[in-house]
Amino acid sequence: MKKILFIAVIALTATFEMNAQQFKVVTSVESIVPNGLGRSRIINALEEKDYKEYTSVQTEDDNTRNKSSRSDIRVKNFEETKLLNFYNIGGIRFQNIAANDALITSMINDMVANGWELAFVSSAVESEGGKGDGQGIFITRYIFKK
């Protein structure tokens, strides 16, 4: 009887642990500004924020506004890993892309070694919008879970 009770407690504990998941987002921003003038980085927040503190509820009867300011949302503790820009004076620089791939791979391997699993990857591009724009980034969000 004690063995059955012990096994039941272990199974119940394992079920709770499997349901409690934690997520972490790490973002890479790679500049696609011509002539290498942009900045490229991997950004990793070192502090947590509760989205509920910055959320307001809007209804027809009531506008419950959150009193926090935009500066309250800012994260002041984060890691910033330098990456190389996609372009230089000569145009697209494939060595820079390979170097960035090596750094991002290292970051992913480190996260996995620390118990995180890469769950999702989401990318987007804001590219140059025409003559004289000169702006552009390639952003990738790596979503880890454990």
Count the domains in the chain: 1
Q: Residue 3 falls within a domain, yes or no? A: no
Domain assignment of residue 33, yes or no: yes
Q: What is the pLDDT of residues 31-66, one digit of tens each?
A: 887 776 788 999 999 999 998 888 888 887 766 666
The Cα 28–Cα 81 span in angstroms is 9
Q: Is 29 among the domain residues?
A: yes
- The overall longest dimension of the chain from CA atoms, in Å, is 78
On whether residue 8 sits in a domain, the answer given is: no
* pTM for the full predicted model: 0.76
pLDDT surpasses 70 at 134? no
Tokens of 113: 């070694």
Domain that holds residue 36: 21-49+75-145
Distances (CA, A) of 69 to 54, 65, 109: 8, 11, 37
Query: What would the mean pLDDT of 4-12 be, rounded to a whole number?
Result: 63
In a domain, 90, yes or no: yes
* 4 belongs to a structural domain: no
Mean pLDDT confidence for 70-95: 87
